[in-house]
Chain A
Amino acid sequence: MENKGVLMTCPMSSYLEEQLQKRFRLLKLWDSQMKADFLKQNSHLISAVVGNTVLGADSELIDSLPNLEIVSSYSVGLDKIDLVKCKERGIRVTNTPDVLTDDVADLAIGLALATLRKISVADGFLRNGLWKNSDFGLTTKFSGKSVGIIGLGRIGSAIAKRAKAFGCPIGYHSRSRKPNANYKYYSSVIDLAANCQILVVACALTDETRHIVNREVIDALGPKGILINIGRGPHVDEPELVSALVEGRLGGAGLDVYENEPEIPEKLFQLQNVVLLSHVGSDTVETCKAMADLVLANLEAHFLGKPLLTPVV
């Protein structure tokens, strides 16, 4: 397959880059100084695109690649890929589900614990030598708090399974009730927020779920409620979240994703009731390797005429 042209959109994994280089004719979009010219000169060579949550395949890119056959995304979310356009042109699309579920669910629980128990603040308190002069204040218990999950897919279910072991009652919202789940279903996000203490965003980003956490939802969650977002930044109306946190109308937040990454509202930097991570949901050595292997396996299956491992389109 060394003659197959594969376009990688941005740096995402050095292992994946190395393997693509070894197995295909790898073209790096970020290497070329003149993107437009570069694409024009090489467009006919490219039969596959490897993208991620930062840079996928929008309609412009797809239109510029006449021989594109497959987009293999190094991510579970596909919001940076024009799926409609891919369908139209018969371009296959794959993602990396399942392999990152555990990591993202782990991080959701880690954020809930770190926010409620102020783990990062307490670590700073000790490292700054403050323990000698004063006690660290009391924090909030996690076990037994009710957890509301928006989106009971793979990741949402994995979060629920973990939270149950902490004695947390689980509620969820999704487009429709899941027949095989024993958790309490809410058809409205506001009702879910009003009836839980920790609200977790774990759904896919679509037009319907954009700003699914708005001012009304935040107010329903209230000054003792905690918001955890391990989904996508645009799930949350970020200016509303920031003002609720600054004004004390929301108890706290654990955030791994933001509307304009890598920009984060600087007003959050001063707050002690938030934990701020840099979109690291699946960024472990183990999972990145598994995701890269899945991208490679999907490409190889496609070019060998075998069934794709994790097809979306």
Chain B
Amino acid sequence: MESIGVLMMCPMNSYLEQELDKRFKLFRYWNIPQTQQFLKENSNSIRAVVGNSMAGADAQLIESLPKLEIVSSFSVGLDKIDLNKCKEKGIRVTNTPDVLTEDVADLAIGLMLAVLRRLCECDRYVRKGLWKTGDFKLTTKFTGKSVGIIGLGRIGTAIAKRAEAFDCPISYYSRSEKADTNYKYYPSVIDLASNCQILVVACSLTPETRHIINREVIDALGPKGVLINIGRGPHVDEAELVSALVEGRLGGAGLDVFENEPEAPEELFGLDNVVLLPHVGSGTIETRTAMADLVLGNLEAHFLNKPLLTPVV
């Protein structure tokens, strides 16, 4: 397969890059000075695109690659790929589900504990030598707090399973009630937010779920509520979130994703009731290797005419 052209959109994992380079004819999009010129010269040799949650395959890119057969995304979310365009043109699309579920669910619980128990703030307090001057303040208990989950898919379910071990009553919102769970269903996000203390965004990003966390939802969650976002930045109306946190209308937040990554609102940097992470939901050595192997496995299956491992389109 060494003659097959694969276009990688941005640096995402050095192991994946190395393996793609070994097995295919790899083009690194981020190293190309003149993309127009490059596409003119090489578009006929590129049969696969490898993207992620930062850079995928939009309509313009897809149009410029006439020989494109497959987009293999190093992510579970596909919001940076024009799926309709792919369907129209018969381009296959794969993602990396399941292998990152545990890491993202772990991080959601880690964010809940870090926000309620002020783990980062306390660690800073200790390292600054402040313990000698007095005890750290009291924090908030996690066990038993009600957890509301938006989106009870693979990741949402894994979060629910973990939170249950902390005796947290679980409720959820999704487009329709799930037949096979005992968790309480709310057909409205606002009702879910008013009936839980910790609200977690775990759905995929679609036009319907964009800004699913708006001012009304934030106000329903209230000054003792905590928002956890391990989904995508645009799920949350970020300006509203920032003003609610700054004004004390929301109790706290644990955020792994932001609307304009890698930018995060600087108004949050001075707040102690937030934990801010640089989109590391699946960022463990174990999981990134498994994700890379899945991207490679899908590409090889496609070019050997075998069934794709994790097809979406």
A120 and B136 form a contact (CB under 8 A): no
The minimal Cβ–Cβ distance linking B5 to chain A, given in whole angstroms, is: 26
One of A147-155, A285-293, A299-307 contacting the partner: A285-293
Stretch at the interface among A29-37, A74-82, A162-170, A205-213: A162-170
Contact indicator B135/A278 (Cβ below 8 Å): yes
User: Within the complex, what minimum Cβ distance (angstroms) separates B190 from chain A?
Assistant: 27
Does A109 count as interface, using CB distance less than 8 angstroms?
Answer: yes
Q: State which of B102, B111, B140 has its C-beta within 8 Å of the C-beta of A167.
A: B102
Given the complex of chains A and B, what is the CA–CA distance between A249 and B105 in angstroms?
30
- As a 0/1 sequence over residues 84 to 111 of chain B, the CB contacts with chain A under 8 angstroms (1 = contact) are 0000000000000000001101110111
* Chain A positions within 8 Å of B106 at CB level: 113, 117, 141-143, 166
Contacts of B278 in A (CB 8 A): 122, 125-126, 131, 135-136
Q: CB of A312 within 8 A of chain B?
A: no
State how many angstroms separate the Cβ of A15 from the closest Cβ of chain B.
10
Partner of B110, one of A119, A140, A278, A286: A119
Interface size of B by CB at 8 A reads 53
Q: What residues on B are CB-neighbors of A140 within 8 Å?
A: 284-286
Task: Scan A120-141; emit 1 where CB is below 8 A from any B CB, else 0.
Answer: 1011111100011001101111
Cβ–Cβ contact B126 & A284, under 8 A: no
Alpha-carbon gap, A111 to B120, bound state (A): 10
In the bound complex, CA of A250 to CA of B277 (Å): 25
B164's nearest neighbour on chain A, judged by CB, is A165
Q: Across the interface, which residues of A come within 8 angstroms of B124, CB to CB? A: 120, 124
In the assembled complex, B119 has its CB within 8 A of some CB on chain A: yes
Does A84 interact with chain B (Cβ within 8 Å)?
no
Contact call B285/A106, Cβ cutoff below 8 A? no
Q: Given the complex of chains A and B, what is the CA–CA distance between A5 and B87 in angstroms?
A: 81
**Residues of A contacting B11 in the complex (Cβ-Cβ under 8 angstroms):** 135
Which stretch (A40-48, A65-73, A188-196, A269-277) binds chain B?
A: A269-277
A2 within 8 Å of B (CB atoms): no
A262 to chain B, nearest CB (A): 4
A161-B110 in contact (CB<8A): no
Contact of B123 among A165, A167, A275 (CB under 8 A): A275
Separation of A138 and B291 alpha carbons in the complex (Å): 13
- The reply to whether the CB of A103 lies closer than 8 angstroms to some CB of chain B is yes
Q: Are B132 and A262 within 8 A (Cβ)?
A: yes
Cα distance, A113 to B124, chains bound together (Å): 17
Candidates B109, B132, B143, B165; contact of A113 at CB < 8 Å: B109
Tell me, in angstroms, the Cα distance from A164 to B162 when the chains sit together.
9
Are A162 and B166 in touch, CB under 8 angstroms?
A: yes
Please give, as numbers and ranges, the residues of chain A lying within 8 Å of B269 by CB-CB distance.
Answer: 127
The answer to whether A264 touches B117 (Cβ under 8 A) is: no
Q: Please give the distance in Å from B96's CB to the nearest CB on chain A.
A: 15
A144 touches B (CB below 8 Å): yes
Contact A123 B141, CB 8 Å, known A110-B114, A131-B262, A262-B131 = no
The interface residues of chain B lying within 8 Å CB-to-CB of A144 are: 102
- Sample (12) of A-B pairs whose CB atoms are under 8 Å apart: A119-B110, A119-B119, A119-B275, A126-B277, A132-B262, A136-B277, A139-B280, A139-B285, A166-B106, A264-B131, A278-B136, A283-B138
Contacts beyond the supplied A109-B113, A131-B278: 14 A-B pairs with Cβ under 8 Å: A109-B109, A117-B110, A119-B114, A120-B120, A123-B276, A126-B276, A136-B278, A138-B288, A141-B284, A142-B110, A166-B106, A262-B131, A284-B140, A285-B138
| Residues of A bordering B, CB below 8 Å | 102-103, 105-107, 109-111, 113-114, 116-117, 119-120, 122-127, 131-132, 135-136, 138-144, 161-162, 164-167, 261-264, 269, 275-278, 280, 283-288
